[in-house]
Structure 1
Amino acid sequence: MTARQLAGDPDWWRGAVIYQVYPRSFQDSRGDGIGDLQGVIERLDYIASLNVDAIWLSPFFTSPMKDFGYDVSDYRGVDPIFGTLDDFDRLVEAAHARGLRVTIDQVLSHSSDRHPWFQESRSSRDNARADWYVWADARPDGAPPTNWQAIFGGSAWQWDTRRCQYYLHNFLASQPDLNFRNPEVVEAILGEVRFWLERGVDGFRLDAVNFCTHGELKDNPPREEIVEGFIGVRPDNPYAFQRHLHDKTQPENLAFLERLRALLDEYPGTTTIGEVGDDDSLGVMAEYTQGGKRLHMCYSFNLLTDRAAPEDLLAPLTEMEARIKDGWPCWAVGNHDITRVATRWNAAGDMARLRLYLAFLLTQRGSVCLYQGEELGLTEAELAFEQLVDPAGITFWPSYKGRDGCRTPMPWHGGEAHAGFSSTAPWLPVPDEHRDLAVDRQERDPDSLLNATRALLAFRRTQPALVKGEISYHPLRDEVLCFERHHGDERRLVALNFAGEPRSLSAPPEARALEEAPLLVNGHWAAGRLELPAYGIAIAGVPAAAGPWSP
C-alpha cells in the first residue's frame, strides 16, 4: 500500500456513500467555462460537509472528448482542460486530509480511436498490436460481420480502409473495443490500473464493465419486448431490438475480473464498483460480486428508470436479495447518464417527496452513489437542440434529448453570474430555475434538502444496521414500504410512506423512535402503532429479541 492511500477500515466501501463528481460541471477555477481538478479541490470542504465517505471522479483523462472523457486516448494522462497529474495528486492528498476516499472512472472495455494502441493496430494486419482490438472481415456481400448494434445508434461495426476490415465499437465509432481475448491487452490494462493505484486512489468505478469481452461472431436474435436496462435501451434505438447474447456479458469476462480483483488485493482498502447494463442486470450484479474473487460491488440501471411507485422500487430490491448471497450491491437513483431524479420521478420542488426518495436510497442494504446536485433537488435542464453537445442527444433528437440536461453546472451562488460555477459562459448553460436551488441559498434554509441530506447522512453513520446490516422486506401495504435492518444486536425498523396522505400501521410495542434521528424522520411510534404523515419517514429501534413486526 502506498503512503498516499488512506488508512483505516479495509472494508470501508461496504455501506459507503460515494459522491459522484462530474468534473466538467463541478467548479471552474480557470475561467474557461469548464470545470477542472483544481475546482474540485476548492470544493472538497463542501463535499466533506455532506458526510459522505468518498468521491467518484468521472473521467478526466486525456481524450478528444467525443464522448466527454469516456473515450480515452491516454489512460495515464490528465487532459489539459482539467489540469495536470500534479493537480490530481494534490486532489488525492487534500481529499484524504478530509477523510474522503477517492475513486476514479476507468473505461476498460474500449479506448479512443486516437489512442496510440489503436493507431498502431489499424495500421496493418501484422503489426505488434494488430490483435489488440476486435477486427473481423466483412461478409461475402461486404456487410458487417454480425448484426450487432451500437448503443449510440447504427451498426456496432465500422469499416476501416487501412486494414480493409471492420472493427467493433459498442458505443461511438470513435470508441473501438479492446480485445480482452488477447493476454497482452489484459496485461496492458492491468498496468494502467496499477498506475493509479500507485498514485494513491482508493478505488475504481468501472464503466460498462460487462462489455469487456465479446462472444462468437454470431447474429443476435430479435427481442420480443423492449425492456429498459441500460442507457440507449429505448423504442427509438435499434439497439433495443435485439437480445444481446453474443456482444456482451460473456463468461470469459469473469477471468478478467478475477485478475483485476487480485491486483486490487495487493492494495488493501481499495475497491471496485462495476456498472452493469444487461437484460438480467441483477443476475450479473450477483455473479460479478459473489465469492470475494471478482468485483467488490456493482450497480445497475434498475433504479434509474421512470418508475417510482413503491412496487416498482421494491421488485428489484427483493430480487437482488434473493440472488446476491455474499455479494454486495451498490444503489443509485441518478447519475450523469440519466434524467435528474427530481424530474424523472415527478418530484420537482416537492421537498417531502425528495426527502422520501433520499431516505429510501440511504436505508437499503448496499453502498450508495449520490450524483452531484441530488442533494439540492436539481431538476433536468431543458435545452434547445442548438445547445446540445451530447452525441446521443444529437443523434436521437427529438424523441431522446440526451444527457446534457443532467450535466449542467453546479449552482453555488444563486445571485452570481453563471451561479458561481465560472466567471465566463460555461460549456452548458446554468438553468434559471437552478438559481433558487443554489448551495448558498439552501445553506441558509434549515428546512432545505441540502441540510436534510447532511443530517440524514450524519445520522446514518451512527447506525451500523443501516450501513452494513442485513435486510428483510415486508409485503407492501397501502403504498408503505416496510423493512428491517439488523446488525449484531442492533435492530432497526424502517417505514417509508409513498402515499400523498397519512398512513397508520401496527408496530411492535417495544419500537421506539431514535432520539438522534433528524427531523425529517417524522413517523410517530407509540402504543403499538406507527403514524406516518404523507410521504413520511419512520425509523425505530427495537430489541433484537422483540417479537416479529407485522405491519
Structure 2
Amino acid sequence: MIKMEQAVTNMDVNWWRGAVIYQIYPRSFQDSNGDGIGDLQGITARLPHIAALGADAIWISPFFTSPMQDFGYDVSDYCDVDPMFGQLADFDALMARAKELGLKVMIDLVLSHTAAAHPWFQESRKSRNNDKSDWYVWAEPKGDGGPPNNWLSIFGGSAWQWDARREQYYLHNFLTSQPDLNLHHEPVQQALLDVAQFWLKRGVNGFRLDTINFYFADKYLRDNPPLPKAMRNDTIAPGVNPYNHQLHLFDKNQPENLEFLKKFRDVLNPFGAAAVGEVGDAQRGLEIMAEYTSGGDKVQMCYPFEMLQPKRLTADFLIETFARMNAVAPDAWPCWSYSNHDTVRHITRWGLTDAGARAYIALLVCLRGSICIYQGEELGLPEAEIAFEDLQDPYGIEFWPEFKGRDGCRTPMVWAKDNASGGFSTGKPWLPVMAGHLGLAVAEQTGDPASMLAHYTRALALRKTHRALVDGAMTGLCAIGDAVMFQRSAGAETLVFAVNLGEASVELDLPEGVWTDIGMDFGGTAPLGHSLALAPWGYSLLRKGE
C-alpha cells in the first residue's frame, strides 16, 4: 500500500496560468513490453524528452480500466489502471519520476458517461427500482415506441438506445456502449467527486475534463431545434454527420452544470490542483468558456475549438476570436491548442510548410493563455494515412471514406528510425507507423539546431524566460493584411509580437517607443527603426526600451 499524498498548504496555486501542457496519448507514446500498445512504464521512460522540450505539465489521456471500444474514453473503473497500461504501482512510479523532473501531471477524467460494462450501469439496467436505477439518463419511449426526442449522437444516429430489461431508452451522446450518467442525481455527483479525490490523494496536479459541457442534459428532454444550413460547421463533428443539423440547446450546455463545477472546484482547491475543460460546441464555445471559468469558483481554464477547426487560423480570424472572447469573457483563461487526439494534425489540416509550422508555434507561445502541445507536434509530424483495413476508430469506420476518423493523428510516436515502428515498440504497433514519420524521429532531430524539435524547444524556452508571455496582459491586437501584431506586458516589461501568416511580405508600423529584438535566436526578424518588415511566415518578438 502506498502512502497517499496529502493536501498541502504551501503551493503555487497558479502554476497552471500560462503553463505549457504536453498531451500524451498513452496507447501511442511508448510501449515497454512489446505488445504493440503504449503503457505507463513507457511514458515514465520518455518523460525526460518532455522535460527537455520545456513543458511544465503533462496531460495523459485515459488509462483507466476499459473495454476499449472508444480506447479508454469508455471507463469501467475510474480508480484503477487497465492491465493494458500497467497497474497502479506503475502510475505511482510515473508520478514520482515526473516530480523529479519538475513536471506537473494532469489526467483525463471522463465524467459525462461510462462504459456500458461499468458496474454502475450493469446495476442500473437491471430494473427501474434498484439502488442505481437513476444513475443514468433513462426515458420512456414515445407512444409509437420511438425514442423520447430527436437528440443525435456525435458518432452518428440517434442518441438513444433501447434496453429490453427496463423497456426504456438510455441516452448516449457518443457510442451506444457509452451511456450518459444522470448528474441531476446527487449520488452520481458525489461518486464523481470521490473519483477526483482518489487521484488527487495519489498526487495528481489536475485534470483535463473531457466533454465538460455534456455533463447535464435537459431534465424535460425537449427536442433540439434545427440549425439553419448557413450556421452549420464541422468543428465538432464531420460535415457528413447529421449531428451538425441541430442547435444543441437541450442535450448539453445546461445551467445546472455551473453548480456542479463549483463543487468540483471545492475538491481541487485544498490540493492546489487545476482543471481544464474541453468545451465541445460549434456555436457557443467562447461563451461557455466564460461561464465555466468565471468568478474563480469553477474550473480554472477551458479550451474551446477555435484553433482546432478545419480552416487555417488567419490574422482576421484571430482578431475576431479575441474580440468575441474579450466581449464575453475578458477575465477567462483559455488553453489554446492546434492539435490533439481527436483532430487531423494541424500541419496537414492547414496545409502548412515547414516555415508555416514554425510561425504558428511562435504565435502560440506568445498568446495570452495556457497552451497544449500534442505528442509528435514538436517533430512536425503530418497526419498519417491509414488504410481502411487498418482502422481502429469506430468513428472513422462509421463515416469512411468521407471522414477517415481519428486514427491518423493517433499513430505511434517516432523515437528512432532503426525499426519499422520508429522505436515505439519491439512488436507490431496497434496502428501502423507512417514511413514518412521515421525521418522525423526524435533521435534524428536531436542535436540539430535547424530541426523542428530545436525550434519548439527554443520557443518554449523563450516563453518561460519572459513573464509577460506566461501570464501578462495582451493588448493592441491588430491585423495588417495577413499579419497580426499585439503587445504582452507584465510589471516593467512590455513586449510586442508580430507574425505574418501569409505568403506576401508585409511592413508594419511599430507602436510608439524604442523596440529591440529579443528573439533572433528563435528565428525572428529585427526591426528597422519604427517599422518591421516581415517576409512570408516571418515573425518578430521585441522588447520596449533600450
Q: Report the TM-score range of the alignment, normalised by the length of the smaller protein.
A: over 0.9
- Distance across 2 between alignment mates of 1:239 and 1:291: 32
Matched with 1:63 is: 66
Matched with 2:307 is: 303
Correspondent of 1:315 among 311, 320, 331: 320
Correspondent of 2:500 among 488, 497, 522: 497
Q: Within 5 Å, give how 1:296-445 maps onto structure 2.
A: 296-308=300-312, 309-347=314-352, 350-445=353-448
> Contact 2:232/2:245 (CA < 8 Å) preserved in 1?
no
Q: Within 5 Å, give how 1:245-260 maps onto structure 2.
A: 245-260=249-264
C-alpha displacement at 1:475, in angstroms? Answer: 2.8
C-alpha displacement at 1:313, in angstroms? Answer: 3.1
Matched with 1:176 is: 179
Residue 537 of structure 2 corresponds to residue 535 of structure 1? yes
> Contact 1:159/1:167 (CA < 8 Å) preserved in 2?
yes
- Distance across 2 between alignment mates of 1:527 and 1:241: 53
- Distance across 2 between alignment mates of 1:9 and 1:472: 26
Residue 215 of structure 2 corresponds to residue 212 of structure 1? yes
Partner letter of residue 176 of structure 1? P
Q: 5-14 or 475-484: which moved more?
A: 5-14
- The secondary structure found in structure 2 opposite 1:441 is helix
Matched with 1:549 is: none
Partner letter of residue 372 of structure 2? C
Correspondent of 1:99 among 86, 97, 102: 102
C-alpha displacement at 1:453, in angstroms? Answer: 0.5
CA shift digits 1:464-511 (9 cap, x unpaired): 111101112433112110111111221110100112233222224633
Q: 323-332 or 403-412: which moved more?
A: 323-332
Matched with 1:287 is: 291
Matched with 1:27 is: 30
Q: 326-335 or 395-404: which moved more?
A: 326-335
Matched with 1:78 is: 81
- Distance across 2 between alignment mates of 1:343 and 1:235: 18
Correspondent of 2:270 among 244, 256, 266: 266
CA shift digits 1:201-256 (9 cap, x unpaired): 00000000100001121111111025336532x33111111111111000011110
> Contact 1:524/1:532 (CA < 8 Å) preserved in 2?
no
Partner letter of residue 250 of structure 2? H
Partner letter of residue 287 of structure 1? E
Q: 279-288 or 471-480: which moved more?
A: 471-480
- The secondary structure found in structure 1 opposite 2:480 is coil
- Distance across 2 between alignment mates of 1:399 and 1:114: 31
CA shift digits 1:436-485 (9 cap, x unpaired): 11111111321111001001111110111111011124331121101111
Q: 223-232 or 329-338: which moved more?
A: 223-232
> Contact 2:8/2:270 (CA < 8 Å) preserved in 1?
no
Partner letter of residue 205 of structure 1? R
Give TM-score scaled by structure 2 length.
Answer: 0.96
- Distance across 1 between alignment mates of 2:382 and 2:10: 37
- Distance across 1 between alignment mates of 2:336 and 2:10: 25
C-alpha displacement at 1:317, in angstroms? Answer: 2.4
Partner letter of residue 238 of structure 1? P
Quote the sequence identity (%): 51
> Contact 1:522/1:533 (CA < 8 Å) preserved in 2?
no
C-alpha displacement at 1:7, in angstroms? Answer: 6.7
- Distance across 2 between alignment mates of 1:260 and 1:231: 25
- Distance across 1 between alignment mates of 2:186 and 2:27: 34
- Distance across 2 between alignment mates of 1:75 and 1:145: 30
Structure 1 residue runs of 5 or longer lacking an equivalent are: 547-551
Partner letter of residue 326 of structure 1? D
> Contact 1:381/1:408 (CA < 8 Å) preserved in 2?
yes
- Distance across 1 between alignment mates of 2:356 and 2:8: 38
- The secondary structure found in structure 2 opposite 1:386 is helix
CA shift digits 1:142-170 (9 cap, x unpaired): 00000100000010000000100000000
Partner letter of residue 379 of structure 1? P
C-alpha displacement at 1:384, in angstroms? Answer: 1.0
Structure-2 change in CA distance of 1:438 and 1:383 (3 Å): same
Correspondent of 2:121 among 118, 123, 143: 118
Partner letter of residue 320 of structure 2? A
> Contact 2:23/2:372 (CA < 8 Å) preserved in 1?
yes
Give TM-score scaled by structure 1 length.
Answer: 0.95
CA shift digits 1:164-200 (9 cap, x unpaired): 0000000000000000000010011100110000000
CA shift digits 1:23-77 (9 cap, x unpaired): 1000000000000000000001101001110000000000000000000000001
> Contact 1:291/1:326 (CA < 8 Å) preserved in 2?
no
- The secondary structure found in structure 2 opposite 1:402 is coil
> Contact 2:7/2:271 (CA < 8 Å) preserved in 1?
no
C-alpha displacement at 1:428, in angstroms? Answer: 0.2
CA shift digits 1:264-294 (9 cap, x unpaired): 11212x1000000112000000110011011
C-alpha displacement at 1:414, in angstroms? Answer: 1.7
C-alpha displacement at 1:321, in angstroms? Answer: 2.4
> Contact 1:231/1:337 (CA < 8 Å) preserved in 2?
no
Residue 230 of structure 2 corresponds to residue 201 of structure 1? no
